[in-house]
Amino acid sequence: MLTTSVLVSAAVVLGLLMLLHSCLGERFLIVPLSTRDDLPPLLGDRSRTVGVVRFAWHITSVLGLGFAAVLVDIAAGTGIRGIVLTIGITCFACAVLPLLFTRGRHPSWVFFLIAGGLCVWVSIST
């Protein structure tokens, strides 16, 4: 029982940290960076550079939330299938970010989609 509450507490702390990471990073890093004229053009132009920085920053938060969800899975005793499903869903969420922020020009979304699909497939087929 103590272990469960400690893991859920850790998940809550991690979730709050990731929320702060995304919100404060957007406000104090990404927005000021996006106004600079001296950014190198990635994937064709400067706006895509900002898109890459934005999705890379927020993927950290999505992955941290995925870790928090895994801690909750462990605390709830969902077993390995539940943990693998959570990892798959986290990968799907990570795939969305480069699709949105670079309009699919950064290829990482393909790898996150494949990894997520494989995890979900294993979690429902075993």
State percent of the chain over pLDDT 90.
Answer: 82
Q: Indicate the pTM of the whole model.
A: 0.91
111 has pLDDT over 70: yes
User: For 31-78, how does the pLDDT look when each residue is reduced to its tens digit (9 = 90+)?
Assistant: 999 998 888 887 678 888 899 999 999 999 999 999 999 999 999 999
- Name the residue among 59, 85, 62 with its Cα closest to residue 14: 62
Structure-token match 């709050």, residue found: 16
- Other Cβ atoms within 10 Å of 12 Cβ, number: 13
Q: Contact at 8 Å (CB) between 103 and 43?
A: no
Structure-token match 């895509």, residue found: 48
Rounded alpha-carbon distances, angstroms, from residue 119 to 26, 33, 59, 107, 113? 30, 35, 18, 19, 10
| Average pLDDT score over the chain | 94
Give the torsion sign (CA, 40, 45, 46, 47).
negative
CA angle 76, 83, 71 (to 5 degrees): 50
